[in-house]
Structure 1
Amino acid sequence: MASKQDRQAENEKIVTEAKERFTRCEEWESDSRRKFVEDLKFANGDPDNGWQWDAAIITNRVNDDKPCLTINKTRQHNLIITNDAKQNKPGVNIKPVGDGASYDAAQVFEGVVRHIEYQSSAEQAYDTASMFQVQGGIGYWRIVTDYVSDESFDQEIYIRRVKNPLAVYLDPDIAELDGSDARFGFVFEDVDAEQFKKEYPDQSEYLASTSFGIEGCWGGKDKVRICEYYRMEDKKDRLLAFSIPEGYEQAGQQIIVRESQMTDDQKAVYELVKDVKDAVTSRDIVTDEIMWYKIAGDRVVDSRPWPGKYIPIVRIVGEETVIEGKLDRKGHTRAMKDAQRMYNYWASEATAQVALQTKTPYVAPAEAIENYESYWQQANTSNAAVLPYNALSDNGKEIPRPQREQPPQMASAYMQGMQICENQMMMSSGQYQSQFGQNENATSGRAINERQRQGDTATYHFIDGLSVGIRFTGVILVDLIPKIYDTERVIRILAKDGTENDIQIDPKATDAYQQTPQAGPKEAKEANSVAAIFNPNVGRYEVESDVGPGYATRRQEAFNAMTQIAAQNDKFMEIAGDLMWRSADFPLADELAERWSRIIPKNITGEGPPPEIQQMTQMIKHLQDTIVELNKKLTDKDADLNVKEYDATTRRISAIGNSGPTITPEQIQPVLMQLLQQMLSSGGPEEPQAGFEQPPEPQPMMQPQGMM
């Protein structure tokens, strides 16, 4: 066991390494982070903060008594993308690959992922990151683990939002867009100093220290800056391959496992075969192990291994390129900044031009208002009902009445300038009037949809970036779930349609998925209260993401579509009314669907044979009844031959009926015609002869297979 001095020396090495890596991150991202702040402030500019104006320009205009108006149209362009992402949020799809994986187990895996998202309020994390991605160019969320409660050793997985992307640094050498190949990462957080002292009383003396070579980055009177540092460490290991010997359960099965990860059972088998010649194949390997450190000041105050194989920091990027060795990262705001500045300028100048003009004056001869000056001096400030004036001069000549001049008008150049800026914003963003619900030259539905599709295409890379991040989240969770859910427990999972089921997680189960009884006696239901038993350790799975409306949105769309069909087709409700009510989301819709399903014919729902089979069965039954009635009227021996012919024909009909679900009326028509001709040509006494043995009762035709 390492001594205190050894641990302290190791921690000092960790802190030194962290400082060096942090410096690399700072140098790589410094320009992008500065522009991120500028873009973020610009996107959130308003009349109070003035973030869309340069400070020097504001000073000059204020000195000249000119307004600095902020008409933030950039915000609406950004909201079109972020709100669309909220309505069409990508989801995690898990597919079975092999090694015992199954489709049902993959569905349970998806349910567990949705359970984690639900209990974490993951939508808030996704939405916050998406907002920063669009406004500034990048957003993050994290994946953490924590104990279920203070009385439990079981852990849960949580998705946490990052409310400040500037608090996260990721390995600058990553090549993957989602950052899945990162070998280290930092997450900073300012916490209350008193709270920190309660959690780490032995480390309180280091709160005023500085770290990472940046004065003031750490510590403070009321706050202490904590750094969570993830680093991937190389770990030597040995890969072993051996088979279970004869005489044991599952004899001959090959085991391939890392030496450090062998279970007790695997170790027991290995001990049996390790000395047998050529029974064990091995090779040295180097694996990656992730360690988590909490650093305060210049000290490591906590550390532990991270169970997963990925740095649990997920990033979503707007646009990111490397030009001449420098990182350039941007969101949707950057391209619209100049057009927005021009719009604000023209709007301010137009307002100033009108505001600085004098109020519209009256022009009048002096003789016309002589002795009435007090009335006319208040003409622009009062609402006088009458303004008197002198209509005639002293010598009786007519005096022209006072006339008001034309009112101030806004210069057309300003109006045209604002229109041009508005068009420039649409051109630079790729979002046109149809995106905002405004009318434009495109009048037909197809033309409007095409313009909307163009706008969606122009900004789709933001939705795709979010999809990439959610897919990587699924990859991290699929890797973590078997390691965190490592004890038997029952959890409630969510299906895509929002229904809930209790699933028992059993890491020792032989199969990935085992169905449990869900119907039967009350005792069986109580004994099997879970829907299935799931072992996340069995099988390999792949993760992909899909982009589209959520289930609730698609359900509403389905209800609207079926409502329109029902309005145009009177028979729709007779064959699919239950489906329409099931897609509705108003109260008691499910009960209405259940009642409606009882009036729909069973053959439509697939629970009974098709109508043509039912008709054919009735025809055969009627024919059999006719044969029985005719048999009673046969009295001579020659009639026995006819009876045998009838019986043979009946058996032939039954054989056709048993031939499968492909029987049709055309197939049975010749047989029926032949039988009817024989019946019409037969005769005999009405009463049967004594001792005449009645032919055997014809057997009813069996239903074709698959029709019951």
Structure 2
Amino acid sequence: MPRETKEDREIIRRAHKRFKQAQDWESGARKRFVEDLKFAEGDSDNLYQWDQAQVTSRTNDPNGARPCLTINKTRQHNLQILNDARQNKASIDIRPTGDGATYDSAKIFEGVVRHIEYRSNATEAYEAASHSQICGGWGYWRILTEYADQDSFDLDIKIQRVSDTLSIYLDPDIEDFDGSDARWGFVFRDVPKERFEAEYPQWKDVVGRNALCDEGRSWDDGDHVRIAEYYEREEVADRLYSLVDGSTLLRSTIPDDLLEVFDSLKGMPGEDGEPILIRAERRTTRWRVKWYKIAGSRIVDRKDWPGQFIPIVRVIGEETVIDGKLDRKGHTRALKDAQRMYNFWTSAAAEFGALQGKTPYVAPVAAIEGFENYWNNANKVNYSVLPYNHMTDDGQTIPPPQRAQPPVQSTAYLTGMQTAAQELMLASGQYQSEMGAPSNERSGVAIQQRQRQGDNATYHYIDHLAQSIRFTGRILIDLIPKVYDTERVTKIMAEDGSLTDVQVDPTLKQPVMKMVDGRPVDDEGLKAAQADPDLRDKVATIFNPNVGKYAVESDIGPAYATRRQEAFAALSDMLKTNSDLAKIAGDILFKSADFPGADEVAERIKRTIPPNILGQGVPPAEAELQQKVQQLTALLQQMDAALNEKQAKEAADYEHREDRHTLDSYRAETDRMKALAASDPEAFRPVIRQLIGDALGLDLSTAMAQQALGDALRGAMPGAVNGALMPQAQAQA
């Protein structure tokens, strides 16, 4: 057996003291809780609605056992509230409040919470607590963490039902109605002895010694061991920093290996003299929760709870403190006397009728003498004639047998039953028409309004349940970033029950990022990908629950299935008056329907609706703008074409003018050369050479110079010059 430390002894001592404090505070309320719960569940077998002394007296009456009937109308009044809560479930709605939180990230948070509720079957936990609240005065549910599966280190969050309300004790000094400020709490659980010894073999010898147990129960009954889960919540001093980017940081969240660097930077100013990291700082506190498992007088297990709240949620019916005495009650308490009266008057009426005579005929003995066999079986055999003696032996007339008056119910008993039933309705605020009995109302709206009047009398039970569910949302928002602290893929659930995957990445710099085929996209890119069948399956969402701050609301309303039916009915009525609406909203109508094939019909109708109405095409305003741009572009093209045509015409006219100018110049030059040739033929030769050279692209002056040089050399060396210079001259030529 492990050695007990001084710290362990102090924790056990504190647990004993606190348990005694809670036990003293709640003892009276717990006793009445049991009485109210038993009364609410009373029937003809358990006789919980009858005082035991009365049952004994009536059963052992010397004149014969007297009836103890139980007509449990209280149960129906309670179920009216409970089933109304089931139909109008409180949902956890999450709103972004700062530090980078966005609407999209809040919706993903909601989806994660909704999936936790679905996987945990949280509806059963809420309904069990609500039943205990309405019938007995209060109830609980718990929030736990457990491994996702046997082969994983990933933790998941679970909402667990508490079947025995009296197995939990919470801090009596709670001020908040939902119990969010509780500093400690106990959860007692009976574990089979064999299982306990298999899980904690080193502690099996401590069972039964100095036990921490409630209501005088023994710690070890031979088959089970009572385990106490003990939570402690304490404030721890910390320091809060306001960073220059607007975010905040607790010193306790900084890794130890970075503290020295952080301290060296926090007071360092920038070039402008302003701080580069810390804008302000102050002392603060944070909450730390410890969990211990206590068996006997020893701590057999312990761990740090990741959240900042005691993970026990309570839901209370009505709570009062009068003269320093706590009392909690549900809907049953006010109905008990009226229900007892109804049972009494019903039993008395049955007893009165049973004691009346059951003889069908009254006859003189002489009248049936000799015919006893007929009259003894008259109530069993359907005789056509019942003979009797109408004359005596001396001729005297004998009156015939007469039917006896049937048993008559006393009006006092009937009136008493009616009065008791009326007082039950007066005490509950729920009348027959409000509980579904026929009344003068004929329209559905009128009937619902009448039923709502009864709901107003009991609405505080549903409202208190909603407050507790809102506190559950606060616990989950606090836990999710701490439990989902590694990269993983988890499910999120939409309001209609559809599931999608989301990748949790605690290192992401923003709260949420949308990806398509591995690439980040904006909202427009996401819409385009969702409309594209080839990209629809490649859309991914990355979520970081550590970024941002969020608040929780709890809205009460009909379940999604009920609202879906209401939507189908409303759309059907609208389509009756406006058939054209089917062309733009027919798919929504059939999506709200529940019959087989409705989704397929909705998908087919959706294919016939223009993309801009579905939000997948160009919006009307943008389409109108694009049309105007196209018209303007066409107009500009027409103007450009006309301008080009005008420029071409002007160019042609200009070219025509140039040709005329050139022709005129040529004619003038020709006339000049004619006059020059006529007056001086030798002076005209250079002009002729120039004209010929320009036409052939040759430099005739050079060729002529080379020709003149060749002629001079040929005179001196005829053979050499012909072999050396003639090819060059030929090339020039």
* TM-score of the pair, normalised by structure 2: 0.78
- Looking at structure 2, the residues matched to 523 and 583 of structure 1 have their Cα atoms a distance apart, in angstroms, of 27
Q: Is 2:244 aligned against 1:235? A: no
1:11 to 2:8 alignment:
yes
**2:602 paired residue number:** 593
Q: Which amino acid aligns with 1:414?
A: Y
- Match for residue 400 of structure 1? 399
**Matched residue, 1:136:** 136
8 Å CA contact 1:207–1:220 kept in 2: the answer is no
Task: Give the corresponding residue for 2:310.
Answer: 311
Equivalent residue runs for 1:56-205 within 5 Å: 56-64=53-61, 65-205=65-205
Q: Name the SS for the 1:92 alignment partner.
A: strand
Other structure's SS at 2:608 match: coil
- Amino acid across the alignment from 2:250: R
How far apart, in 2, do the equivalents of 1:603 and 1:236 lie?
58
- Report the Cα offset of residue 589 of structure 1: 1.4
Closer, same or farther in 2 for the Cα pair 1:522/1:549, shift >3 Å? closer
Aligned with residue 53 of structure 1, among 46, 50, 55: 50
Residue 260 in structure 1 maps to residue 252 in structure 2: yes
Match of 1:666 in 2: none
1:533 partner letter:
I
Aligned CA distance change for structure 1 residues 301 and 362 (closer, same or farther; 3 Å): same
State the distance in 2 between where 1:71 and 1:453 align: 26
Residue 682 of structure 1 corresponds to none
What displacement does 1:556 show?
1.4
Contact 1:391 1:400 survives alignment (8 Å): yes
Q: Is 2:39 aligned against 1:42? A: yes
Aligned-partner residue type, residue 574 of structure 2: I
Q: Hey, what's the Cα distance between the residues in 1 that align with 2:439 and 2:398?
A: 53
1:330-345 pair list within 5 angstroms: 330-345=329-344
1:568 Cα deviation from its structure 2 partner: 4.5
8 Å CA contact 2:140–2:162 kept in 1: the answer is yes
Question: 596-605 vs 275-284, which deviates more?
Answer: 275-284
Query: Given the superposition, is the C-alpha separation of residues 461 and 560 from structure 1 closer, same or farther in structure 2, using an over 3 Å criterion?
Result: same
Cα drift, residue 395 of structure 1: 6.2
- Give, in angstroms, the shift of residue 182 of structure 1: 0.5
Could you tell me how far 1:493 is from its partner in structure 2?
A: 0.6
For the Cα contact (< 8 Å) 1:138–1:331, is it kept in 2?
yes
1:536-551 correspondence runs (5 A): 536-551=545-560
Q: Distance in 2 between matches of 1:578 and 1:523?
A: 22
Deviation at 1:147, TM superposition (A): 1.6
Partner of 1:293 in structure 2? 292
Relative to structure 1, the CA distance from residue 36 to residue 393 in structure 2 (aligned partners, 3 Å threshold; closer, same or farther) is same
- The alpha-carbon distance between structure 1 residues 401 and 509, as it changes in their structure 2 partners (threshold 3 A), is same
1:459 is paired with a residue whose SS is: helix
1:80–1:435 Cα contact (<8 Å) kept: no
**Shift in alpha-carbon separation, 1:569–1:387, aligned structure 2, 3 A:** farther
Cα separation, 2, equivalents of 1:610 and 1:301 = 69
Render the CA deviation track for 1:412-449: whole Å, top value 9, x for unaligned. 11111111111100110011112321124656766544
**2:723 matched to which residue of 1?**
none
Shift of 1:569: 4.1
After the TM superposition, which of the residue ranges 264-273 and 357-366 deviates more from structure 2?
Answer: 264-273
> Residue 140 of structure 1 contacts residue 314 of structure 1 at CA under 8 Å; is this kept in 2?
yes
Q: Is the 2:99–2:246 contact (alpha carbons within 8 Å) kept by the matching residues of 1?
A: no
Give 1:498 shift. 1.5
Using the alignment, how far apart are the partners of 1:273 and 1:484 within structure 2? 31
Q: Deviations over 1:609-634 (max 9, x none)?
A: 879x99xx89x99xx99xx9xxxxxx
Call closer, same or farther: CA 1:105–1:375 in 2, change over 3 Å. same
**Contact 1:210–1:216 under 8 Å retained in 2:** no
Conservation of the 8 A alpha-carbon contact between 1:192 and 1:222: yes
| Whole-Å separation in 1 of the counterparts to 2:619 and 2:102 | 33
In structure 2, give the amino acid aligned to 1:358.
G
Counterparts of 1:425 and 1:284 in 2: how far apart (Å)?
57
Q: Is the 8 A contact 1:169 1:187 kept in 2?
A: yes
Whichever residue aligns with residue 337 of structure 2, its letter is D
Is residue 416 from structure 1 mapped to residue 410 from structure 2 by the alignment? Answer: no
Q: Quick check: 1:336–1:425 contact (8 Å CA) kept in 2?
A: yes
Deviations 1:572-630 (A, max 9, x none): 4334221110111233212211111233456755657879x99xx89x99xx99xx9xx
Secondary structure, in 3 states, of the residue corresponding to 2:85? helix
Counterpart AA for 2:292:
Y
Deviation at 1:557, TM superposition (A): 1.3
Partners in 2 of 1:92 and 1:157 — Cα distance? 16
Give, in whole Å, the separation in 1 of the partners of 2:436 and 2:536: 53
Separation in 2, partners of 1:103, 1:289: 30
Which range moved further: 450-459 or 256-265?
256-265
Which position in structure 2 is the counterpart of 1:559? 568
Q: Does 1:218 align with 2:219?
A: yes
Report the residue type matching 2:208 in the other structure.
A
In the superposition, relative to structure 1, how do residues 442 and 553 fare at CA in structure 2: closer, same or farther (>3 Å)? closer
- Per-residue CA deviation, residues 177-226 of structure 1 (Å, 9 max, x unaligned), is 10000000000000001100111111000112242376543122110000
- Provide the C-alpha distance between the structure 1 equivalents of 2:412 and 2:396, rounded to a whole number of angstroms: 45
What residue identity is the alignment partner of 2:552?
V
In 2: Cα distance, 1:282 partner to 1:451 partner? 58
Q: Distance in 2 between matches of 1:585 and 1:562?
A: 14
In the alignment, the residues of structure 1 paired with residue 614 and residue 103 of structure 2 have an alpha-carbon distance, to the nearest angstrom, of 26
- What displacement does 1:262 show? 0.4
Which residue matches 2:19? Answer: 22
Q: TM-score, normalised by structure 1?
A: 0.80
The SS at the match of 1:546 is strand
- Counterpart Cα distance in 1 of 2:484 and 2:611: 44
Task: State the alpha-carbon separation in 2 of the partners of residues 436 and 159 from structure 1.
Answer: 32
Report the Cα distance in structure 1 between the residues aligned to 2:444 and 2:605, rounded to whole angstroms: 36
**Structure 1 residue 266, shift from structure 2 partner:** 5.2
Q: What is the count of residue pairs matched by the alignment?
A: 615
Answer yes or no: is the 8 Å Cα contact 1:105–1:534 preserved in 2: yes
Is the Cα–Cα contact under 8 Å of residues 99 and 247 in structure 2 kept in the other structure? no
Distance 1:317 1:582, change over 3 A: same
Going from structure 1 to structure 2, the CA distance change for 1:591 and 1:361 (only over 3 Å counts) comes to closer
User: Who is 2:666 aligned against?
Assistant: none
CA contact (8 A) 1:559 1:580 kept: yes
Q: State how far apart, in whole Å, the 1-side matches of 2:189 and 2:425 are.
A: 38
The answer on whether the counterparts of 1:360 and 1:406 sit within 8 Å (CA) in structure 2 is no
**Against the structure 1 CA distance between its residues 254 and 41, is the aligned structure 2 distance closer, same or farther, given a 3 Å change threshold?**
closer
Q: Deviation per CA, 1:141-182, whole angstroms, max 9, x where unpaired?
A: 000111222322211111001000000001000011100000
Partner AA of 1:223 in structure 2:
H
Kept after mapping to 2: 8 A contact 1:322/1:328: yes
Distance 2:397 2:578 in 1: 81
1:120 partner amino acid: S
Q: Which structure 1 residue ranges, 5 or more long, are not aligned?
A: 244-251, 629-642, 649-690, 694-708
Greater Cα offset, 382-391 or 188-197: 382-391
The answer as to whether partners of 1:208 and 1:220 remain within 8 angstroms in 2 is no
Offset of 1:567 from its aligned partner? 3.8
Conserved? CA contact 2:212–2:228, under 8 Å:
no
Q: 2:193, 2:554 → 1: CA distance?
A: 41
Provide the alpha-carbon RMSD of the alignment: 3.3
Residue 535 (structure 1) aligns with:
544
Q: Which residue matches 1:509? A: 508
Structure number with the higher helix fraction is 2
Conservation of the 8 A alpha-carbon contact between 2:94 and 2:110: yes
Shift of 1:385: 4.3
* Identity among equivalent pairs (%): 52
Displacement of 1:276 after TM fit? 5.0
